[in-house]
Copies of this chain bind each other. A is one copy, B any other.
Amino acid sequence: MLLEAPVYKEIFGAVKIYELQKVIKMDTETEDVPMFTVQNIPREDIYRTIGEMAIIVPMKNEKLHLVDGVLKAIPHKSPIIIVSNSKREGPNRYRQEVDLVKHFCNLTHSKVIMIHQRDPGLAEAFRETGYEDILDENGLVRSGKGEGMLIGIMLARAIGAKYVGFIDADNYIPGAVNEYVKDYAAGFLMSESEYAMVRLHWRHKPKVSRGTLYFRKWGRVSEITNRYLNQLISEKTTFETTIMATGNAGEHAMTMKLAEIMPFSTGYSIEPYEIVYLLERFGSWENVEEFQDVFDQGIEIFQIETLNPHFHEDKGQEHVKEMVLLSLPTIYHSKLASERLKRQILEDLRMHGIITETEEPPKPRIMRPIKDIDPKKWMNVLESNQETLLRFDL
């Protein structure tokens, strides 16, 4: 794969954020393009990396034919981890998903782990390893997407994956999914640190530019989030920047080493919170001893503009409000935010009727990093108590 060379970056303490890099050509080989202005990530290297990357697919009542296309498009060597929170009563959507996955695995011998997010065995495994952050008042894992992703990371850790990549199950274009996995691999192959993150950006979402993902008079959700994230960065550096282009990137990936030390937020605040957290904790050389290795190696954040456009399920205007409501508070409540920035966010949220004049932006719920969970013990408790865990060729 050819990518624009990662020439420009911003550095904050141990954190490097690279400018957006466009994909220029698919499927190149080692010897193909020895150049300076372009970065060649040979196909052979990409396929090797893909085999070490678990692809986590969180799902919740998605259309089955979309799920089917997504599974078929993920390169064969990548283990797939499906964390479903689909309903099991009335029409049993989860049952249908299980049938589809079984058929798919029988046909293809793909490596798949699948579990239902509300499996009591999962709750038990977290409880026994001292991680109640993820549990609700009934003692089950909460229903959020962030919680699903965290389960996925724990399962990826249990099978020894070196990288985790997230792919949404509601993507209309299998070819785009196939590219995303390779984009993730390309990012990791460019990184010189074991603490790396790759976030994807699409140039255009066809036909939705004035549709539901557009917030009237304010712009697209991602533009709003990026604008404030860049402002947060600018205040720190006193230079204006537009470097952050992937604040809401649901399609992203991390090295396992980075995933282990990340606290996760919930719902649509996860992705922007990752950036806020990394800037807060590693953006300046403070308390270096706690994370000596991280500060030594640095954290690299790559942003890749995909070749494919993005067509996904339209979740409506309420979804947009929720995304804004959950994204901006991660910036508002950051210890890096100045009073001026906080005031601006507050005014914006109120003016657009996302919160009332008397409300404060909700404080994001943060789950601690999973690094202190003993993965062996967690997996053992899960396996002894699970009701829905399925493993194919893994």
Interface of A toward B, CB cutoff 8 Å: 2, 23-29, 32-33, 35, 37-38, 43, 47, 50, 69, 72-77, 107-110, 172-176, 178-179, 206, 307-309, 311
Contact = CB atoms under 8 A, between A and B. Distances in A.
Contacts of A50: 27
A345 to B, nearest CB: 35
Contacts of A24: 72, 107-108
> Which of A23, A50, A69, A175 is the most central at the interface, judged by chain B CB atoms within 10 Å of its CB?
A175
Contacts of A35: 109
B307 A73 contact: yes
B72 A109 contact: no
Contacts of A69: 307
A176 B178 contact: no
A26 B76 contact: yes
Q: How many copies does the complex hold?
A: 2
B206 A172 contact: yes
A95 to B, nearest CB: 22
Contacts of A108: 2, 24-25, 28, 33, 38
B77 A29 contact: yes
A173 B178 CA distance: 12
Contacts of A206: 172, 311
Contacts of A33: 76, 108-109
A75 B37 CA distance: 20
Contacts of A173: 173, 175-176, 308-309
A209 to B, nearest CB: 14
B26 A72 contact: yes
B307 A76 contact: no
Contact of A25 (B37, B110, B179, B307): B110
A40 to B, nearest CB: 9
Closest 5 CB pairs of A and B: A175-B175, A27-B75, A28-B76, A25-B108, A175-B308
A103 to B, nearest CB: 10
A179 B72 CA distance: 12
Contacts of A176: 173, 175
Nearest to A307: B174
Given A24-B72, A175-B175, 7 more contacts: A24-B108, A25-B110, A29-B76, A173-B176, A174-B307, A174-B308, A175-B176
Given A43-B47, A69-B307, A107-B2, A178 B27 contact: yes
A27 B80 CA distance: 14
A194 B109 CA distance: 31
